[in-house]
A and B are shown apart, each in its own frame.
Chain A
């Protein structure tokens, strides 16, 4: 290429600008083969990326992507935008906004497409958090309103009972008040726990002791509901480095959910909730919370652990399971769920020994 000194300088400046762009830039042909890539791209995807296909480099797959802005650009000579998830060599997964634009030859045909990828992961994450926050506030407001209405109902019954001097009726009303105070206390505790961006405070603790304490915490509630709360704890599971506050909250949320499910299920005469601690295999141990209540329908199961999803109407916000998921994630554990409508549910939490 015969360029004048001035042109070469301009070319160098142009290339240095392209390389310095805080985004990925590449040029692809009709077969999605990378013809050119800027420095940022080559640094993150390897200097050997040119010559390979875009989908092989960005997604690690051997097939074309279903939705591709470059394909659209070749089809209609237009400018296109899409959202893409890409996989970096170091294992990071990034959410990107992809822009494509045509590069024309002298007769106006698209000879190549320029593709620019900008990282929008932090914006997407913020967006998700804002959506979750909005949903949380809506659900929580609704639930707190329902609980307050129930409290008013309970107070009304107690007032009536006092006027009528009806001791039995006052006990019924007082029971409603107590139940709803417990519920609103629980919601506020979960809100406080979830609102703080707290890091787990790891301590050497006995999982058996944590499970026992969590079980005992609900002994009275279970008894008042006529539910058998059974602890099956393997004392051989050794002490672990865990965050006692987090694990206690995880267990209590799961036990609470199980008890609520038992209360809701009117099909069985005897309800049982099991709290188990045992080895999972040679290198892992597990907690299990199992009930024999009504189980979950497919839709509920599919939505489990999504931010703020609840089927419990006035008696639950879904915040509890969201916290369980977060706590398990913070402890690098795994959650498994078995459920069947009419039979019950089992939540298994697996942690490394």
Chain B
């Protein structure tokens, strides 16, 4: 199987860094375009009123504007973290999406004809959250292309992974 578009998903966790090495290897090996994506949470995922005095539409516009500002900040951070590592090596592109990581990664992969997704097994997650919902597990289950999940050798694993 030859890959033309490889999607590397990062949240800068240890697992994501391990996954990056593999993603770059695969992109070089197949001469594939490497897509970098980081999904950040929306400031207002349910589109609620931000303030009592604001209409719902104004709240939505304000949330979108805040999301857009965060997107641009994070896009700079993503480029800073990886651009030097793959410059002149592979064709690449950077994208920041806002929303739920599993939903946005799968959507991006579908829209960009991605044929391989590479991501860390365990990412950073909300401390209070139980480990029931895992981005890697959901992407593996629901994406419409091949998936490789990679764990960091340094990471301590619990019995359920």
Contacts and interface: CB of A to CB of B under 8 A. Distances in A.
Contact of B126 (A87, A282, A343): A282
Contact of A232 (B48, B55, B100, B132): B132
Interface residues of A, number: 31
Interface string B128-141: 11101100001001
Interface in A256-311: 274, 276, 278-282, 284, 288
Contacts of A276: 132-133
* Chain A interface, DSSP helix/strand/loop, else mixed: strand
A332 B129 contact: no
Interface string B40-58: 0100011110000001111
Contacts of A2: none
Contacts of A281: 41, 45, 126
A87 B56 CA distance: 13
A339 B46 contact: no
B46 A278 contact: no
Interface in B25-70: 41, 45-48, 55-58, 61
A234 B131 CA distance: 10
B152 interface: no
Contacts of B61: 91
A70 interface: no
Contact of A352 (B48, B103, B138, B143): B48
A232 B41 contact: no
B106 interface: yes
B47 to A, nearest CB: 7
A326 interface: no
A351 interface: yes
B45 A346 contact: no
A244 interface: no
Given A339-B142, A340-B141, A334 B128 contact: no
25 contacts: A90-B55, A90-B57, A91-B57, A92-B55, A276-B132, A276-B133, A278-B130, A278-B133, A279-B126, A279-B129, A280-B45, A282-B126, A284-B45, A288-B132, A288-B133, A334-B47, A336-B100, A338-B102, A338-B142, A340-B142, A343-B141, A343-B142, A351-B46, A352-B46, A352-B48
Cβ-closest 4 pairs across A and B: A91-B57, A91-B55, A338-B142, A232-B132
Interface of A: 87, 90-93, 232, 234, 236, 274, 276, 278-282, 284, 288, 332-334, 336, 338-340, 343-344, 346, 348, 350-352
Interface of B: 41, 45-48, 55-58, 61, 100, 102-103, 106, 126, 128-130, 132-133, 138, 141-144
